[in-house]
Amino acid sequence: MHDERRRIEERVERVHNQRIRPAIYAATVPLTVESWQAPGEPVPFTEAAAAQYAPFAMDTPWGPPWGTTWFRMRGQVPADWAGRRVEVVIDLGFVGDWPGNQAEALVHRADGTPLKAVNPQNQYVPVAHPAVGGESVDYLVEAASNPDILANDFAAPTPLGDVLTSGDKPLYIFRRADLAILDEEVWHLFLDVQVLRELMLELGEHDPRRHEIAHALDRAMDALDLDDVAGTAADARDVLRPVLAKPAHASAHTLSAVGHAHIDSAWLWPIRETKRKTSRTFSNVTALAEEYEEFVFACSQAQQYEWVRDNYPQVWERIKKAVAEGSWAPVGGMWVEADGNLPGGEAMARQLIHGKRFFMEQFGIETKGVWLPDSFGYTAAYPQLARLAGNDWFLTQKISWNQTNKFPHHTFWWEGIDGTRVFTHFPPVDTYNVEFSGKEMAHAVRNYQDKGRGTTSLAPFGHGDGGGGPTREMLERARRLADLEGSAKVRVEHPDAFFAAAREEYPDAPVWAGELYLELHRATYTTQARTKQGNRRSEHRLREAELWATTAALHAPGHAYPYERLDRLWKTVLLHQFHDILPGSSIAWVHREAEAEYARVAEELETLTRDALAALGTGEARVFNTSPFDRDEVVRAADGRLGVARVPAGGSAPLDDTSTHDTVTVTDRTLDNGLVRVELADDGTLASVRDLRAGREVLAGPGNLLRLHTDLPNHWDAWDIDKHYKNRYTDLLDAESITVVERDPLLGALKVERSFGRGSRITQTITLRSGSPRVDIETEIDWHEAEKILKAAFPVDVRAPHSSAEIQFGHVQRPTHTNTSWESARFEVSGHRWVHIAEPGYGVAVLNDSTYGHDVSRTVREDGGTTTTVALSLVRAPRVPDPQADQGRHRFTYALLPGAGVEDAVAEGYALNLPLRVADSAGAPRPVVSVTGEGVTVEAVKLADDRSGDVVVRLYECRGGRAAGVLRTGFPLAGAQVTDLLERPLKDADIDGDEVAVTLRPFQILTLRLRRG
């Protein structure tokens, strides 16, 4: 037989796209359209309904960037359309086919009821099925003219990312607003041909099934009269019915499909626009659920549900109905889909607490999995946190974006730093926006790593990132692919059902231990430094406010614990940990608002803390220590005088003017406190840091070396830092001045000033305090560079086989060598308050108060010694999507801690981030709790969320070893329970009077609920 594949394939493609597709709508009648441009920010429906509308013609420009235009659309179904399926079809002038980053609209009835949204892939609104002739249509359409920030694949900076710079030129040209008849037979033919054609193209050229489909399609085209597609569509479908009816092979892979609409809580649009995106997408989803009984939609992010509940009550009622009927599945159990590396330990716990609690309170459903398809890597603390929150499974797919190494599993047990394991899955379809195309189906099968052991994988389907969600076409394709020869099978079901079946089928799945490091998007540890600093400071201020509010509630009669305010402030911080806000990958508008929110949060938390301390009673000036470690530290009082405070963890003490600490000696270039001697070079770098206790030099080269690198990644400017950044740099060695700024027996400081680049300036104050080996480097940068990254390097004379970096509730170790491609790919990594390097008998830590990105490398010197270099990433200057990212002033502190073990790094990391607080007048309450036992560390102290008055304390083991100790309460103790993260009892704790015995495995997290006597 002659090979006619090319002729058939080209024929089918043309007829499908150029004849069948245009015939889907059999007849159209234009609607009468009027418009009203809302001034400024979006307005509620009632205001729009009362506005004055003006006539609007098709092919007219509309929509300034970030504007809202309301359109009134009216018409009447022709009498002769009775009995047909009638829809309104709207084309706002869509550009491209991505629904999430351009014009989109929500259609309302005249009474304000939201119907559904329209976007490039979903332009219809149902009117009647079947129609009644003469039926009237009266819609109000809220259209958002959001700019296409992704135009030209992020090739150049754009001013469109902020309403302050975007201008007012209309972006779109309105193309269509019609009443139309959907010809269901033609529409189904379109889908039949689409599914078969795409399947055919994925099959091998020698596969008989490919040829069978090809010839069936050829015969169907013969049966179709191109001059009467509507009249012959049924004949063509009859030809295709036998090939569509052939069942899949018994061993065919199964895709467990669930509807999805990944909606970034902010990204290329501000938070205010996400609130509208949720209403549009969720309107679509609930409308689709009414039509397809098998439909199941998985939706995460409690914050987005709350927005809909509070702003779109009618849509909220539809969601509640869909949840009750089983077509809507709340998943994820987090407040938002947060970044997977940067939130602190307690913040990550609160993400799970607030998210799970919302779904339990609103729907009576406890979610069972962590749903994080799009975060940029995942901390090794996640398995324990997930399980402590009551979760059984974890899902992501972002690791499929790895630049270098392909992850070896799709279904596996993920083991965290404490040994906890959680059943984990990466969908091999490699997207959370599945459309059931032939390419996606074939890729999922070819890509699945666990063939021979597992037979199923998950497939989240629906338009995402900017929302939109599943479409009826996707569900129709899923129906055709449910059991089709040559293809994987599709089964629409709840994610819990998939994970239960996968775990039963594959209980001995392989184990991956440690972090899930994404070999891409490494710059998200650094970009938008002020946003990251706002998060870090907010986390620590929340800890402080909760501790002292609890102290006041226990010891100050009449002081009420501020439950509502703390809850609201936590949720604000949790929202801004979303995986495109905290990582710094959003437009300028998002980060401008984030900085303002962090300032507001800081002001309110300061008020809460001051109120709590004031309520503790009047007395002498006292110093309060929020850290979980006792402190013996130089403190500056409100009047500027220096003193020494010896303050217990979680307690207070008077400021002591006398000190037995050694005096700090200061010269023009040196600081010496008897523990450490610091010497500056003429260029302002650290020429020497000598540990006088150990009698050894710490540095193997210039310390605090500021290096300015060229930083132009291949793609994704705000997200990526590529390895070639290391190849071109300038060392900042021209110090304009070095001056003594503090010369006190308790404290000495030298200031170094530099200017460089495009008018940038950096001022650093190197400070040494009496009694402490910690060398602080307070830094202020006025940053005006473009496509650069500034690093601060500390070459240390230590042969360290690995570095340790703090993560949530512990730390991870990473090799300093690059033996394998996996190690080489970790050329930029994340950490929290400290990085530690050591050889047997000696270690050094580098601390920070707001920096996350860093690298650790090592070289062997000519003298045979090894230099291990820790380089902090301080600030970047990407231009896309925010052309002004990181520009302007930054203030932060990092520090060198010589002679440090891991436990020293932990303690000083807390100390740097939780400065001692001086209160002019306060009482002297007992600490709420105090602990003994090496490694037992208090992370949070608060009152129970159920308002019972119980005290909740979260502890963890910080060193990576076993720990045993005692927790003592500063109040009469009537009972104690070990709980999960949601403060639900797991078992009784062992108590003796006011003491609780504590035993922890390495990095174990323990939550105790303490009942007051």
Active-site positions read 374
- Give the three-class secondary structure for 168: coil
Torsion-angle region of 364 (φ positive above 0: left; ψ -120 to 50: alpha; else: beta)? left
Residue 868 structure tokens: 């291990």
Residue 474 structure tokens: 């996707």
How crowded is the C-beta side of 76, counted as CA atoms within 13 Å?
5
**Which residues are registered as beta bridge partners of 844?**
837
CA–CA distance, 731 with 721 (Å, rounded to integer)? 19
Residues contacting 875, CB < 8 A, separation 6+? 526, 529, 781, 783, 789, 790, 886, 890
**Which residues are registered as beta bridge partners of 623?**
653, 918
CA–CA distance, 270 with 596 (Å, rounded to integer)? 13
CA–CA distance, 849 with 846 (Å, rounded to integer)? 11
- Tell me which residue of 397, 379, 401 sits closest to 434, measured CA to CA: 397
Residues contacting 645, CB < 8 A, separation 6+? 623, 625, 631, 632, 633, 635, 653, 654, 655, 656, 916
Residue 83 structure tokens: 């009995």
Say if residues 177 and 58 touch (Cβ distance below 8 Å): yes
- Tell me which residue of 635, 629, 529 sits closest to 583, measured CA to CA: 529
CA–CA distance, 96 with 102 (Å, rounded to integer)? 9
Q: Provide the 10 A C-beta neighbour count for residue 607.
A: 13
Write the DSSP string, 282-295.
HHHHHHHHHH-TT-
Residue 121 structure tokens: 């892939």
CA–CA distance, 708 with 870 (Å, rounded to integer)? 15
Strand ordering across the sheet containing 696-697: 665-666, 670-672, 676-680, 686-691, 696-697
Residue 105 structure tokens: 């609209």
Q: Provide the 10 A C-beta neighbour count for residue 6.
A: 8
Measured torsion, CA atoms of residues 605, 611, 612, 615, in degrees rounded to the nearest 10: 180
Residue 892 structure tokens: 């932060």
Say if residues 358 and 382 touch (Cβ distance below 8 Å): no
Q: What are the two backbone dihedrals, phi and then psi, of residue 235, each rounded to the nearest 5 degrees?
A: -65, -45
CA–CA distance, 894 with 892 (Å, rounded to integer)? 7
Residue in the block written with tokens 């949790």:
574
Write the DSSP string, 365-376.
----EEE-TT-S
Write the DSSP string, 848-875.
ESS--EEEEEEEE-TTS-EEEEEEEEEE
CA–CA distance, 600 with 90 (Å, rounded to integer)? 42
Which H or E run includes 563?
Answer: helix 563-575
- Give the three-class secondary structure for 975: strand
CA–CA distance, 474 with 462 (Å, rounded to integer)? 8
- Give the three-class secondary structure for 431: coil
The burial class, CB within 10 Å (0-12 / 13-18 / 19+), for 565 is middle
CA–CA distance, 1000 with 809 (Å, rounded to integer)? 13
- Tell me which residue of 480, 491, 587 sits closest to 244, measured CA to CA: 480
